Amino acid sequence: MSEKVLQYHKPSLQGHLTIPGDKSVSHRSVMFGAIATGKTTVDGFLLGEDCLSTIDCFRKLGVKIDVDGTNVTIESAGMEAWQEPSEVLYTGNSGTTTRLMLGILAGSNVHSVMTGDASIGKRPMRRVIDPLRQMGAHITGRADGQYTPLAIQGSTLQAIDYQMPVASAQVKSAILLAGLRAQGTTVVRETEISRDHTERMLRQFGAQLTVEEGVISFEGGQTLLGTHVSVPGDISSAAFFLVAGAICQDSKVVLENVGINPTRDGVIEVLRNMGASMTVVPNEDNQFEPTATITIETSTLKGTIIEGDIIPRLIDEIPILALLATQAHGTTIIKDAEELKVKETDRITAVVDELQKLGARIEATKDGMVIEGPTPLQGASLKTYGDHRIGMMGAVAALITNGAVTLDDAECIAVSYPSFFEHVEAVKK
């Protein structure tokens, strides 16, 4: 862990960027390719540490995976051909890997042990394990499976009809992936719609399922077939440059091939509501995950309220939207975001504490935060908490502060955006 000092002297941002591949889609492309029979090819894969952890886990299960730049090839004879791993499956900092793997491994033919880094060791797993146990999964672990390490004995599963207590794509996806090997019809009911990459990819790999008014259902025992996956640019990563382009002086940034999946595009809606100068031009060439070219320019912004069913569509973007709100005129209120407390860190506390160090007028609430703006920000030494989103929030703040910003662990940004600082330099004028 090493400090990084950022002193940008309030630059303008100009130019074009191709945002790295979507983390959620990259994870799932490997998972589905390993489950499927035949060859799966992937382009635009995110070479972040989280996604590489997913590759490493499946290699330990005997799946052949080749990586050539951002192109990945997975060759699998299906789950029946997996080998029992002789090593612990290490998921690093990746909650997606950990939670979705639980669903996959629960219905497999192998016994495995899974653990992650210190951050993963603090993140709750029972929200996934409880419904999987209802399906007949044999999973044991620390605090009765609340925390890693976890041991999974693959077993025969029975389908369930499950009402989601909170909007969580990870919990939903774990149940759906377990349902592939379950006997009967798996049904998941959502009150608030969470990101739907798993449902889209199930169809892409040949599964038959129905999705109607928040109810997803499909029959177990379906065989998936290898296919080609084009990974769009990650809108959660694009959000940092959308905010930077809006708040930096005399700026115009064009972001290409950004995923605009309607379960993930809440950041675009919020930017529009706040008066951002932005255009979104959809592309026509991606059948399963829609993409667009997004242009953002320096903007005069106004405060807004971010609440309700938009929260699952931008949960990962709230840290950078909080920074955006410090430069908007008036009050911005973020609420209904309790899920932030169980991310890589308690992001409500982390965002508020670090932005206050910069001079922001921001206060935490039980389920979000209240921000007053616009406020000039000052340089400071910031903690990242080992959380890539907090690290990038601090780095974007450095573009507009009076004085330098020091990040205690800038390396954590590589989890989702290894080329982040190169991209900053590419557009900084």
**316 is annotated as an active-site residue:** yes
Q: If we measure between CA atoms, which residue out of 18, 17, 29, 19 comes closest to residue 236?
A: 19
Q: Is 416 annotated as a binding residue?
A: no
Q: Is 419 annotated as a binding residue?
A: no
Q: Is 28 annotated as a binding residue?
A: yes
Angle at 135 between CA 196 and CA 176, to 5 degrees: 15
Angle at 282 between CA 276 and CA 284, to 5 degrees: 175
| Contact partners, residue 424, CB within 8 Å, separation at least 6 | 244, 395, 399
Q: Is 126 annotated as a binding residue?
A: no
- Phi and psi for 93 in degrees, rounded to 5? -100, 10
Contact 420, 395 (CB under 8 A): yes
Q: Is 39 annotated as a binding residue?
A: no
Q: If we measure between CA atoms, which residue out of 381, 379, 414 comes closest to residue 400?
A: 379
Contact 46, 72 (CB under 8 A): no
Residues in a beta bridge with 140:
151
User: What 3-state DSSP class applies to 387?
Assistant: coil
Residue type, 12: S
Q: Is 381 annotated as a binding residue?
A: no
Q: Is 170 annotated as a binding residue?
A: yes
Angstrom distance (rounded) from CA 27 to CA 51: 5
Q: Is 361 annotated as a binding residue?
A: no
Q: Is 429 annotated as a binding residue?
A: no
Q: Is 59 annotated as a binding residue?
A: no
Angle at 92 between CA 40 and CA 157, to 5 degrees: 60
Task: Pick the catalytic residue from 196, 316, 387, 409.
Answer: 316
Residues in a beta bridge with 365:
368
Q: CA separation (Å) from 65 to 40, 91, 413?
A: 10, 17, 25
Q: Is 245 annotated as a binding residue?
A: no
Q: Residue positions in the annotated binding site for phosphoenolpyruvate?
A: 23, 95, 123, 170, 347, 389
Catalytic residues: 316
Q: Residue positions in the annotated binding site for 3-phosphoshikimate?
A: 23-24, 28, 168, 170, 316, 343
Q: Residue positions in the annotated binding site?
A: 23-24, 28, 95, 123, 168, 170, 316, 343, 347, 389
